Amino acid sequence: MSGHEFEVYLKALFANKGYLVKATPGSGDFGADLIIEKEEKRIAIQAKRYSQPVGVKAVQEVIAVAAMNYYNCTDAWVVSNNTYTKSAVQMAIRTNVQLMDREDLINMILENKSKVSVTL
């Protein structure tokens, strides 16, 4: 799965969880790949499909001045199919960015599958 395919997958996954989901432009996205909305929350998401742990740069791309302010968001998340480096976790804590790692993503996928009902 390419990075773009990962973003498309996340778009469908969050939509199935009841979020209103918008993709940002492919280039010049100001540090956000998706904007999701639900209730009073508007969240900038930086999607990272990496084969190695995600570093601090991904957290920096989505923090306040960049994506959050540009898209008028209340929160910022980085969603990855991998884990995060210690420095990425430290930066996320200091800047209130939520990190969703491989385990979180798997749990969300499994939760989503359990909600799907099949009618025969």
pLDDT bucket at 117, cuts 50 / 70 / 90: very low
pLDDT bucket at 120, cuts 50 / 70 / 90: very low
Higher-pLDDT residue of 29, 69: 69
- Residue 61 has a pLDDT of 75
In a domain, 109, yes or no: no
| CATH number (domain holding residue 69) | 3.40.1350.10
In a domain, 120, yes or no: no
In a domain, 32, yes or no: yes
Nearest to 80 by CA among 106, 113, 60: 106
Residue span of the structural domain in which 72 resides: 3-103
In a domain, 117, yes or no: no
In a domain, 68, yes or no: yes
Structural domain count of the chain: 1
- Residue 59 has a pLDDT of 80
In a domain, 11, yes or no: yes
In a domain, 93, yes or no: yes
pTM exceeds 0.75 for this model: yes
Rounded Cα–Cα distance for residues 16 and 25 (Å): 22
DSSP H or E run through 57: helix 56-62
pLDDT in tens, 14-62: 999 999 999 887 766 677 889 999 999 999 999 998 889 988 888 877 7
pLDDT bucket at 101, cuts 50 / 70 / 90: very high
Percent of the chain with pLDDT over 70: 88
Instruction: At 119, list the tokens.
Output: 């009618």
In a domain, 9, yes or no: yes
Rounded Cα–Cα distance for residues 77 and 103 (Å): 15
